Amino acid sequence: MMRIIAGSKRGRSIFTIPKDKFVKPISGRIRQSLFDILRPYVTGAIFLDLYAGTGAVGLEALSRGASKAVFVEKDGQCMKVIERNIAHLGFDEQAKALKADVLTGVKWLEHFSGYKGYDIVFMGPPYRTSENLPLYYSMETLKLLAEARVTTPAGLIVVQHHKTEDVEAPPGLEHVRVEKYGDTNVDFFRPVKK
């Protein structure tokens, strides 16, 4: 069972995806470390959770004081779990769940930030297919985010990916930090200042 780690909903459970579904939720240890790093930026933030899975990261952000979270997920079963979690935790007013394929483009997501841009974007694309073939979605998604400019000028983009996937800053973004956890890397990017 997963739980919210800190904030207004600390200790509350989160509904998860059945184990036979090919979704690997972010571990509690990585989530804790991630939010230790994001702590100065979360309060009042507009948060975008791409490849949202169960919605654990965006829900954690709301519990810790984010003003709004938008969840994007293409799997129907995951969408039901995200919507159930939003209702279960009482975040209906602050959260929006959208069923979409991130790889078809992200420019349309600026509408859901009120055209202000997202302060924090988190993405944890799936590492592998159900046939155990590697999926390398991180760079493709980063390029889309850089081209669409959906973040605020000081926004952060956080990418959780398998350590074997090469992730580097596309034009328009700069790499500012990396954290390593076993087979998982978490990279942080910001828009290049003009």
CATH number of the domain residue 174 falls in: 3.40.50.150
**pLDDT digits 0-9 by tens, 74-121:** 999 999 999 999 999 999 999 999 999 999 999 999 999 999 999 999
- Determine, yes or no, domain membership for 75: yes
Given a contact cutoff of 8 angstroms between Cβ atoms, the answer to whether 144 and 102 are in contact is yes
pLDDT bracket for residue 19 (50, 70, 90): low
Q: 115 in a domain, yes or no?
A: yes
Q: What is the pTM of this model?
A: 0.95
131: pLDDT strictly greater than 80: no
Residue 14: inside a domain: no
Average pLDDT rounded to a whole number, residues 43-65: 97
Give the whole-number percent of the chain exceeding pLDDT 70: 95
Could you give the CA distance from residue 152 to residue 109 in angstroms, rounded to a whole number?
A: 13
Using alpha carbons, list the distances in angstroms from residue 34 to 29, 76, 84, 89, 142.
9, 27, 24, 21, 18
In a domain, 13, yes or no: no
Say what the alpha-carbon torsion angle 4, 6, 12, 17 is, to the nearest 10 degrees: 0
19, part of any domain: no
Domain count, the chain: 1
Position 26 scores a pLDDT of 81
Q: CA nearest 139: which of 190, 103, 107?
A: 103
For position 23, what pLDDT does the model report?
Answer: 66
Average pLDDT, the chain: 92
Tracing tokens 């079963």 back to the chain, one arrives at: 77
Amino acid letter, 162: H
Helix boundaries (H) for 20-164: 28-42, 56-63, 76-89, 138-148
On the question of pLDDT at 42 being above 70, the answer is yes
Which range of residues forms the domain containing residue 106? 2-8+25-183
Does residue 179 fall inside a structural domain?
Answer: yes
In a domain, 102, yes or no: yes
Query: Which residue carries 């979605």 as its tokens?
Result: 137
DSSP H/E element including 159: strand 151-162
Distance CA 106, CA 50 (A): 10
| Rg of the chain in Å (alpha carbons) | 15
Residue 45: inside a domain, yes or no? yes
